[in-house]
Amino acid sequence: MFHTKQEAIDFIYESYLKAQPYLNYNDPDGKKRNPAWTKEILNELAFGTNVLITGSKGKGSVSHMLTLILMSQGIKTGLVTSPHITDFCERIRVDETVICDEKLLEYADSLKGRIRSIPVKQGGYVSPVGIILALAFSWFREENTKVHVLECGKGVRYDDTRNIKHDYSIVTPVFKEHTRELGKTIEEIAGDKSRVIQPGQKYVFLAEQQECVNRIFWDRAKECGVSVRQYGKDFFCENISFGEEGMSFDVVTEKKRYCGIKLPLFGTHQAKNCALALALGEEISGNLEEDGAKEFLGKMHYPGRMEIVSRHPFTLLDACINPASVPMLKEIIERVPHKKLAVILAIPEDKDYLGVASALKEEAAFMVFTSTENPHYHFSKQQAEKAGGFPYIEGAKKAYEYVKNMDADFICILGTTSLITDFKKQPFFPISICKRRRR
């Protein structure tokens, strides 16, 4: 029997860790992952109305927005996302309340015999994703949830999440990413993610996409007999305006116009994410009560997604690791008055840190490279040198203190999710902002 949360977490990853010596880091997902190992148990446990969310950017934002919208309509909703920011239990929620340590231990203990009896071949492993989903649905059954919002990982074809029979799927913008695991071209990546569309589901809701990506998803939908609802055609947002506390906009669907939606977030892309979530929330609820949805969305807090963490100097924290995300960031830079912009980058060596640095060189008065505490990511001085001879300062806190001393009045802190974790764990932001955001 497990006695600590760490023992339960170790159980979730034990199969994967045993397989690691036999895994080739450079192999694609198709050679390493096998969602078939958890298919039977997930088919047994899954129930209710299920929504799968994939894409390259915005999965987490859309997942939380959709959950808030459903909650506002009195629909009890389970949520599974990844990665977590400060606590593993953040990955599993009911109505935005995280699973408690005791329940994590209880369900990990109840599943361990079944999981450990799976006849995995040498070099194969039972995916932590599948185990987390099994834990989540065990708890969801106890909580009597009605709808489940499930965020897929990097891809879908070899992700255990695809084992969940689902009624709906959402595809946020797809761009070239995770080429080692998913494919070298955007067409290969879109082909992997298109497997979120399965025969028997009702609708797939598509964000704005490149034409080559659109074609792949529409072809997949046609092959599976699934109806498509697309941003710009069946729903869209307009009248976007920005203020100190976030932004306001309207969303138009086939049924109605939702006026004056307010989000405490920044970026046109977040308004578009909200349109995706609202369109599907309207479909699931049947008759969406507008005031409740607007109230819940207005209270949304999503750490590290264009998040204002300080106003003096104005400091923005964002999980940006790809040049495709930079235009969204530049939109904010243009709208916020400032004299001197500093950029802190903590993007691992195997990501496109050069692309992000190059895209922001003209806007930044100076740029600093740094690292995070997560031992699974690799950072080095060579990154800063290759990007143009910028300073490299070990550790996010020291990097932040360094740029503050350079008299920057706008600081952008960008990088992998573990950077967000480091900043949240260390109280070196102004206390007033941190307290306001936690309420």
Q: Identify the CA nearest to 43 among candidates 133, 159, 117.
A: 133
Give the DSSP per-residue string, 40-76: HHHHHH--SEEEEEE-SS-HHHHHHHHHHHHHHTT--
Alpha helices in 286-315 (DSSP H): 290-298
Angle at the Cα of 192 (from 186 to 197), degrees rounded to 5? 120
d(CA 357, CA 368) in angstroms, rounded, equals: 10
% of the chain beyond a pLDDT of 90: 66
What pLDDT does residue 174 have?
A: 93
Residue 296 per-residue DSSP state: H
What pLDDT does residue 123 have?
A: 86
Contact 131, 138 (CB under 8 A): no
d(CA 394, CA 373) in angstroms, rounded, equals: 10
Residues of the chain with CATH 3.90.190.20: 307-438
Residue 324 per-residue DSSP state: G
Is 3.40.50.1000 the CATH classification of the domain at 5-298? no
Q: Is the pTM of this model over 0.95?
A: no
**Is residue 24 pLDDT above 90, yes or no?**
no
Residues of the chain with CATH 3.40.1190.10: 5-298
d(CA 209, CA 206) in angstroms, rounded, equals: 8
Residue 24 per-residue DSSP state: -
The tokens for 194 are 């298109």
Contact 333, 309 (CB under 8 A): no
As a whole number, mean pLDDT of residues 142-147 equals 98
As a whole number, mean pLDDT of residues 110-139 equals 95
What pLDDT does residue 337 have?
A: 86
What pLDDT does residue 427 have?
A: 57
223: number of Cβ within 10 Å? 11
What pLDDT does residue 429 have?
A: 54
Q: What's the gap between Cα 224 and its chain centre?
A: 26
3-state SS class at 112: helix
Q: Are strands 49-54 and 147-151 parallel, antiparallel or unpaired?
A: parallel
The tokens for 105 are 């231990």
Q: Per mean pLDDT, which range of 193-202, 270-279, 302-311 is the poorest? A: 302-311
d(CA 153, CA 161) in angstroms, rounded, equals: 8
Q: Report the first-to-last Cα separation within the chain, whole angstroms.
A: 36
Give the DSSP per-residue string, 231-265: BTTTBEEEEEEEETTEEEEEEE-SS-EEEEEEESS
d(CA 376, CA 379) in angstroms, rounded, equals: 10
Summarised one tens digit per residue, pLDDT across range 78-119 is 999 988 887 899 999 999 899 999 999 999 999 999 999 999
Residues 6 or more apart whose Cβ sits within 8 Å of residue 423: 304, 309, 317, 396, 400, 413, 429
Q: Identify the CA nearest to 165 among candidates 136, 198, 135.
A: 198
Summarised one tens digit per residue, pLDDT across range 361-413 is 889 999 999 999 888 788 999 999 999 899 999 998 889 889 888 888 999 99
Summarised one tens digit per residue, pLDDT across range 407-432 is 889 999 999 888 888 887 765 555 43
Residues 6 or more apart whose Cβ sits within 8 Å of residue 17: none
3-state SS class at 397: helix
Specify the CATH class of 307-438 in words.
alpha beta
Residue 273 per-residue DSSP state: H
As a whole number, mean pLDDT of residues 350-360 equals 89
